[in-house]
Amino acid sequence: MSIGMAVTPTNVRPSKRQRTSDASSIGGLQCQVCHRSYERADHLNRHLDSHRNERSFRCEECPAAFNRRDLLLRH
């Protein structure tokens, strides 16, 4: 590679907005609250928990709380 050449990564993921599709175009499932669409029912159900605003998973080191265990663990 020569100096000054731009390197374009091949594994760049589209933004979340680009990944979400209109449910009618993919035959998917759509959230009735915010209209995001999902191809899998388990993903829609997991998303619906975010609208309940319950934060059962609390960090022991700071005031942060999450509605999913995996989000707490990632924190």
Region of 35 (left: φ > 0; alpha: ψ -120 to 50; beta: rest) is left
Distance CA 72, CA 34 (A): 23
What pLDDT digit, counting tens, does each position of 2-14 carry?
555 555 455 555 5
Q: What is the pLDDT of residue 49?
A: 87
Percent share of the chain, pLDDT over 90: 56
Q: What is the pLDDT of residue 24?
A: 46
What average pLDDT does range 54-58 have in this prediction? 93
Residue 34: pLDDT over 90: yes
Cβ-Cβ contacts under 8 Å for 54 (sequence gap 6 or more)? 67
Distance CA 31, CA 38 (A): 8
CA angle 7, 11, 13 (to 5 degrees): 115
